[in-house]
Amino acid sequence: MDIIEIKNLRLGFNCECGWREAIHNVSFSLKKGELHALVGESGCGKTITAMSILNLLPKNARITEGEIIFNGNNILSLPQREMNKIRGAKIALIPQDPMTSLNPLYTIENQLLEVIKIHQNLEGKEAYQKAVEALEMVQIPCAEARMKSYPHEYSGGMKQRAIIAMALACNAEVIIADEPTTALDVTIQAQIMNLLNEIKHEKGTSILLITHDLALVKENADRISVMYAGEIVESGNNSEFFICPKHPYTKALLNSLPNKGKGRLETISGQPPSIQQTIDGCKFHPRCKERMEICECNHPSETRVSRTHSAKCFLLNKKGVDF
């Protein structure tokens, strides 16, 4: 069952050079209790797509088309007041840098109690107990004592756990994790991902993981959508994606992963296009090793490879795959 469905989302920015569309007709869904990874190079549009779900967009950004359905309602049409009730309570964000969410001037206890009061309408002993339980759930040692600490007294991994505890204390149905482990070392990274997986399995929480780290995705994601230049170019479940990728960009990303005995790592030549650049045809064609004449002036539409796997590439049509 889909908990979030993004349908034909278009979003742009008012730049110095005028209006520029950054997200082109993006559609994907997040199912209940799944971890869906949105992957791609920096600047491909994955974070802004995720932020549109929370309606946390920069002032110069605007959604021009599309729907974001959460539990059956188009949240894009909700008044700000209603959206505030969903944000943080039902859909929580784990940012790359936890200090953007934690207030350095207040203790973890103050901050946990505040979200519990706002989103769960609890106060006093009940709220305090819920806060301790949430910190215990994310395995903060001596949780009750550590409630009194200020954020700077927590390590990077503990701060991320405290943010996850806030989502748990509010019983968030969806967690958007935006590069949640980038600032952490490898062992702490694994602990945070294990924690997210536990929450997914035990509470049925849906997780949208924004990342460029394919090793992390391989280990943890149920489904993967690849973004390039503001479009989703391939979507599939974990085995389809890693065993039989279809889009040349996905293949190039996978070939650039470190692999024992493979020798030199492959790189993808060139750079992803900036928002100012207009590219006709397939947006990946200037960097694609398999490009054909048709790719330079025609835009490939989505081709379904299986019930759960699709990609946008003319090669799929050319090979005449029976879908």
CB of 266 to ligand SF4, least distance (A): 16
How far apart, in whole angstroms, are the C-alpha atoms of residue 142 and residue 304?
51
Positions of E strands within the chain: 2-15, 18-31, 35-39, 61-70, 73-74, 91-94, 174-178, 206-211, 223-228, 231-237, 303-304, 310-311
Q: Which residues bind ligand SF4 (CB under 6 A)?
A: 247-248, 282, 284-285, 288, 290-292, 295, 300, 313-315
Q: Considering beta carbons, is residue 38 or 313 the nearer one to ligand SF4?
A: 313
Q: Considering beta carbons, is residue 187 or 301 the nearer one to ligand SF4?
A: 301
Q: Considering beta carbons, is residue 95 or 248 the nearer one to ligand SF4?
A: 248
CB of 301 to ligand SF4, least distance (A): 10
CB of 316 to ligand SF4, least distance (A): 8
- The CA distances from residue 139 to 24, 56, 69, 172, 277, in Å, are 41, 29, 33, 18, 47
* Spatial contact of 21 and 10, defined as CB atoms under 8 Å apart: yes
Widest distance between CA atoms in the chain: 69
CB of 315 to ligand SF4, least distance (A): 5
End-to-end CA distance of the chain: 24
Q: Considering beta carbons, is residue 172 or 316 the nearer one to ligand SF4?
A: 316
Q: Per this entry, what is the length of the chain?
A: 323
CB of 244 to ligand SF4, least distance (A): 16
Q: Considering beta carbons, is residue 116 or 313 the nearer one to ligand SF4?
A: 313
